[in-house]
């Protein structure tokens, strides 16, 4: 079995590759070429945490994967990852475990890549301003995905925790120095999204974190944080203004995300407003952007197919480059 740490993975697998891997995962889902049951969720109520277990299998990839991930928002105060995880990659022919990957990092990468895929497929070609609301553990890869998808002049970031915000801006200014993209700390979320072409929301909020009326025509909004029914970071006004609404997986979103479930229950939107899954867009089954003034929403809760395809690509690259630690 090969053990692959964050350092191992980061040295051989870049965001461009992750975006292509995630696109392929979305297509495989649409074509039914991967089994990815809805994840099992167990509440750890005393610690205000959640355990998630995500299995997947593909004949085509001759592999299976299981991700064990936890979401404990209080970990940030303890200096621990908010979403600790591990991914097991198994041989589809023998059932033997091929690799154990740092799932915390893999999750950050493939989640950022999902937003990157949406921005690449749906963002305006001349997009120049990006905005990120939320400076937690998922934030760095979300910023990297934005600048990978589009050549941005400016990235504005906001978080109500000013210390966390300052640290993120400083670290990402250094990491993204080669892009010439300015990383700016905004004073308010609405200040961050003003005139922004690409917007990512990645918070654990249970109430909207932006004023939906301030989203500019033509913007793409990627909603990442609302992975449970009671969570809602997206202002429903954005959904009412949107020309199209896409998902990573409609079934998964409608089983989990308050961003969509709450407005549905309130009658502010209906299922007829949904455009479909991103995989179907890639396959040409549903339309993409048709108007430069269309506001487009992408809601993602993450799928096991993304973990499987990404883990397999990383494993193959690790074998080719002799990375990782062998555990016999």
Query: What is the DSSP secondary-structure string of 125-177?
Result: TT--EEEEE--STTHHHHHHHHHHHS--SEEEEE-S-HHHHHHHHHHHHHHTG
User: Do the Cβ atoms of 259 and 223 come closer than 8 Å?
Assistant: yes
What is the number of other CB atoms lying within 10 angstroms of the CB of residue 173? Answer: 14
pTM flag (> 0.75): yes
C-alpha 258/C-alpha 254 separation (Å) is 9
User: Do the Cβ atoms of 323 and 4 come closer than 8 Å?
Assistant: yes
Please list the pLDDT of the chain residue by residue as tens digits (328 residues): 999 999 999 999 999 999 999 999 999 999 999 999 888 889 999 988 999 999 999 999 999 999 998 988 888 888 888 889 999 999 999 999 999 999 999 999 999 999 999 999 999 999 999 999 999 889 999 999 999 999 999 999 999 999 999 999 999 999 999 998 999 999 999 999 999 999 999 999 999 999 999 999 999 999 999 888 999 999 999 999 999 999 999 999 999 899 999 999 999 999 999 999 999 999 999 999 999 999 999 999 999 999 999 999 999 999 999 999 999 7
Class for the domain spanning 124-302: alpha beta
Chain centroid to CA 268: how far?
Answer: 25
- What is the number of residues in the chain? 328
Measured at the alpha carbon of residue 258, what is the angle toward residues 141 and 292, in degrees to the nearest 5?
Answer: 60
> Coil, helix or strand for 217?
coil
Strands ordered across the beta sheet of 154-158? 182-185, 154-158, 129-133, 198-201, 220-223, 296-299, 244-247, 276-277
Q: State how far the alpha carbon of 313 is from the alpha carbons of 6, 103, 204, 257, in Å.
A: 15, 14, 30, 28
Residues 6+ apart with CB under 8 A from 78: none
Q: Is 292 exposed, middle or buried (0-12, 13-18, 19+ CB in 10 A)?
A: exposed
What is the number of other CB atoms lying within 10 angstroms of the CB of residue 250? Answer: 18
| 3.30.1780.10, 3.40.50.2000, 3.40.50.720, 3.20.20.70: CATH of 2-106+305-326 | 3.30.1780.10
Numbered ranges of CATH 3.40.50.720 in the chain: 124-302
Numbered ranges of CATH 3.30.1780.10 in the chain: 2-106+305-326
């Amino acid at each position: 079995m090969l053990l692959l740490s964050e350092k191992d993975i980061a040295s051989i697998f870049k965001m461009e590759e992750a975006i292509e891997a995630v696109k392929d995962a979305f297509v495989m889902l649409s074509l039914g070429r991967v089994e990815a049951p809805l994840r099992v969720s167990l509440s750890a109520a005393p610690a205000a945490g959640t355990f998630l277990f995500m299995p997947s299998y593909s004949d085509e990839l001759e592999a299976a994967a299981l991700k064990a991930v936890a979401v404990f928002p209080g970990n940030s105060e303890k200096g621990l990852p908010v979403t600790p995880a591990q991914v097991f990659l198994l041989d589809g022919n023998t059932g033997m475990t091929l690799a154990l990957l740092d799932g915390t990092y893999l999750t950050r990468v493939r989640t950022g890549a999902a937003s990157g895929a949406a921005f690449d497929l749906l963002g305006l070609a001349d997009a120049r301003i990006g905005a990120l609301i939320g400076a937690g553990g998922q934030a760095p890869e979300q910023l990297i995905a934005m600048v990978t998808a589009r050549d941005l002049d400016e990235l504005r970031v906001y978080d109500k925790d000013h210390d966390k915000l300052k640290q993120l801006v400083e670290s990402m200014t250094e990491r993204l120095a080669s892009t010439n993209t300015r990383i700016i700390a905004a004073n308010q979320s609405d200040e961050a999204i003003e005139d922004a072409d690409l917007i990512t929301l990645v918070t654990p909020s249970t109430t909207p974190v932006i004023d939906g009326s301030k989203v500019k025509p033509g913007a793409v909004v990627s909603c990442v944080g609302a992975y449970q029914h009671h969570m809602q970071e997206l202002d429903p006004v954005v959904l009412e203004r949107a020309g199209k609404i896409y998902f990573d997986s409609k079934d998964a979103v409608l089983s989990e995300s308050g961003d969509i479930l709450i407005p549905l229950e309130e009658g502010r939107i209906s299922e007829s407003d949904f455009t479909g899954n991103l995989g179907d867009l890639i396959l040409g089954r549903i339309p993409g952007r048709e108007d430069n003034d269309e506001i487009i929403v992408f809601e993602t809760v993450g799928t096991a197919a993304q973990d499987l395809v990404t883990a397999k690509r990383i494993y193959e690259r690790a074998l080719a480059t002799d990375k990782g630690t062998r555990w016999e």
